[in-house]
Chains A and B, each alone.
Chain A
Amino acid sequence: DIQMTQSPSTLSASVGDRVTITCRASQTISSWLAWYQQKPGKAPKLLIYKGSSLESGVPSRFSGSGSGTEFTLTISSLQPDDFATYYCQQYNSYSLSFGPGTKVDIK
């Protein structure tokens, strides 16, 4: 099975900051990587799919990059609504797997 890791586990930032989260896969997954945002008590929301494709309706300040085993999610200018936990997920093969999450909180 493919193991996913994320760094950092927690990130403290201010409104307007540029934020970058890294996700690594234990083996190559091509570009089969998605990013989700989850707020407390809510279901996750798809932000990015296929490594860098922006889901419809997601603000353009979110972007994804990478392929193979290393990926990044970037928020170009952090907004108040962006404080949440972010998860990466590989869909190269079953069993599907998520990273452990990165919590973005207020500095």
Chain B
Amino acid sequence: QVQLVESGGGVVQPGRSLRLSCAASGFAFSDYTMHWVRQAPGKGLEWVAVISSDGNSKYYAESVKGRFTISRDNSKNTVTLSVRVNSLKREDTAVYYCARGSDGYNPDCFDSWGQGTLVSVSS
């Protein structure tokens, strides 16, 4: 079955860099768009970024544009979200979910989700 496992979260100081990873299994990874969605503590869901199945198209939420970078390695079935050095803000504190785009639509909704990884930006 579809499995998405995020890693890389933890306590990070403001201004430091961050790299989150999502390992996918149970499906043909290279056929699907992949997304990151986040949820601040006690708040709603916020879409962060998407990468196309071949990695050539990427879109970002305005709140992270220029600071976050999404990438993927189809040979390793992984998708990564990186934050530039000196870019992390306290308001980036959230649970970050990796999600699979639903088949056949562009843009798309999210038909499978990981369990999430908590990022806490604090000095």
Contacts and interface: CB of A to CB of B under 8 A. Distances in A.
A95 B45 contact: no
Interface stretch (B7-15, B70-78, B82-90, B101-109): B101-109
A55 interface: yes
Interface residues of B, number: 23
Contacts, number: 62
A46 interface: yes
Contacts of A99: 44
Interface of A: 1, 32, 34, 36, 38, 42-46, 49-50, 55, 87, 89, 91-101
Query: Interface SS of chain A: helix, strand, loop or mixed?
Result: loop
Given A1-B62, A101-B44, A96 B50 contact: yes
A98 B107 contact: no
A49 B109 contact: yes
